[in-house]
């Protein structure tokens, strides 16, 4: 798939606005982000890119400066790999690429081939999800990694004892990357499906959904219908400012907030199915 790279000059954007702009870009369909010293790089499938949308967004935030260029898939992989660094989440989980050396002192290590899929652990929302997952027992649980990206959350679920792990993603490349990364880590997803929440075909004890606010709000009803009684729904991909609207939406489907974490204005929440 061909991607478009947007480079936003951070000198033209207030630092306090950067995370909000990333969230807005996510709502526009941008899938992955790289934060460098001077530039924020954002990536979107070329067929979904709209210059008019970017210009409108820029006007809302002091007319920040941006440029756009096309990234063929083969070049994208090289660019992503060149910027990929290992990630450590406390002493719990270490996420690295095949070209990095293993590290000692972690409960779990996950090796991810850093292709174009979102969810390598660099973004605060992935780290937040992993921190929240650490607080529950997944042994013998049935888990769905919704919007699986690289499959890192589902892989961790398998490593921590989940009996069934399925993945769903709207991007074919993410589906393939999830299967490949699971095999790389000596675990297997039971099923990995191309599509959106409408593809959920069974009920789960745990649903992990790290996507973006608009998709989460639209799909919470579907998630609730596919949670076993007492099941848990993990949500992230939205800002702290959106906490109330997400919590209210979840409550309308008998989902009770049980835990939450934030980092750099990003939020993750856990809900329990009451029926």
Assign residue 264 the CATH number of its domain: 3.40.50.150
pLDDT value at residue 251: 97
What average pLDDT score do residues 6-12 get?
Answer: 91
* CA gap 20, 61 in Å, rounded: 10
Q: What percent of the chain has pLDDT over 90?
A: 56
Q: What percent of the chain has pLDDT over 70?
A: 92
pLDDT value at residue 40: 87
158 and 53 both lie in a single domain? no
Name the packing angle between helices 18-27 and 51-60 (round to 10°): 150
In a domain, 259, yes or no: yes
Q: Specify the higher pLDDT residue, 155 or 115.
A: 155
Grade residue 35 by pLDDT with cuts at 50, 70 and 90.
confident
For the chain, the average pLDDT equals 89
What average pLDDT score do residues 187-210 get?
Answer: 96
* CA gap 101, 140 in Å, rounded: 31
In a domain, 201, yes or no: yes
pLDDT value at residue 125: 86
Is the model's pLDDT at 61 over the cut of 90?
no
Single residue among 80, 101, 131 that ends a domain in this structure = 80
pLDDT value at residue 15: 77
Is the model's pLDDT at 82 over the cut of 80?
no
**Which of 71-85, 163-177, 215-229 is modeled with the greatest confidence?**
215-229
pLDDT value at residue 43: 84
pLDDT value at residue 146: 97
Is the model's pLDDT at 116 over the cut of 60?
no
pLDDT value at residue 202: 96
Determine contact, residues 39/10, Cβ cutoff 8 Å. yes
Grade residue 107 by pLDDT with cuts at 50, 70 and 90.
very high
Is the model's pLDDT at 74 over the cut of 70?
no
246 and 184 both lie in a single domain? yes
Q: Find the DSSP H helices in 38-171.
A: 51-60, 73-83, 124-133, 152-159
Is the model's pLDDT at 159 over the cut of 70?
yes
Grade residue 268 by pLDDT with cuts at 50, 70 and 90.
very high
71 and 139 both lie in a single domain? no
pLDDT value at residue 62: 82
28 and 143 both lie in a single domain? no
What average pLDDT score do residues 220-229 get?
Answer: 97
In a domain, 100, yes or no: no
What average pLDDT score do residues 123-144 get?
Answer: 93
In a domain, 179, yes or no: yes
Measure CA of the first residue to CA of the last residue in the chain; give whole Å.
41
Is the model's pLDDT at 145 over the cut of 90?
yes
* CA gap 44, 50 in Å, rounded: 10
pLDDT value at residue 212: 83
* CA gap 33, 43 in Å, rounded: 6
Q: What is the domain range of residue 18? A: 3-80
CATH number of the domain enclosing 8: 3.30.70.980
Least confident range of 78-82, 143-147, 242-246: 78-82
Q: Are strands 191-194 and 204-210 parallel, antiparallel or unpaired?
A: unpaired
Name the DSSP class of 139. Answer: T
């Amino acid at each position: 798939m061909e991607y478009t790279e947007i480079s936003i000059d951070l000198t033209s954007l207030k630092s306090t606005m950067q995370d909000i702009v990333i969230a807005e870009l996510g709502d526009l369909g941008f899938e992955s982000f790289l934060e460098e010293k001077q530039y924020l790089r954002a990536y979107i499938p070329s067929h979904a890119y709209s210059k008019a949308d970017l210009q409108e967004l820029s006007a809302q935030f002091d007319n920040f400066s941006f440029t756009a260029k096309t990234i063929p898939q083969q070049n994208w992989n090289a660019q992503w790999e060149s910027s990929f660094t290992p990630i450590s989440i406390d002493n719990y989980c270490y996420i690295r690429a095949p070209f990095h050396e293993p590290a000692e002192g972690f409960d779990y290590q996950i090796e991810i081939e850093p292709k174009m899929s979102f969810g390598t652990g660099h973004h605060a929302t992935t780290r937040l999800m992993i921190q929240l997952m650490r607080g529950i027992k997944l042994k013998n649980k049935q888990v769905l990694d919704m919007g699986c990206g690289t499959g890192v959350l589902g892989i961790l679920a398998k490593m921590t004892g989940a009996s069934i792990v399925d993945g769903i993603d709207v991007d074919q490349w993410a589906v393939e990357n999830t299967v490949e990364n699971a095999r790389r880590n000596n675990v297997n997803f039971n099923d990995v499906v191309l599509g959106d929440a409408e593809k959920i075909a069974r009920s789960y004890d745990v649903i992990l959904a790290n996507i973006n606010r608009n998709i989460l709000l639209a799909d919470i009803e579907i998630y609730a219908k596919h949670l076993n009684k007492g099941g848990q729904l993990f949500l992230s991909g939205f800002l702290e400012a959106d906490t109330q609207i997400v919590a209210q939406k979840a409550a309308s489907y008998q989902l009770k907030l049980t835990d939450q974490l934030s980092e750099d204005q990003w939020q993750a929440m856990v809900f329990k199915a009451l029926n």
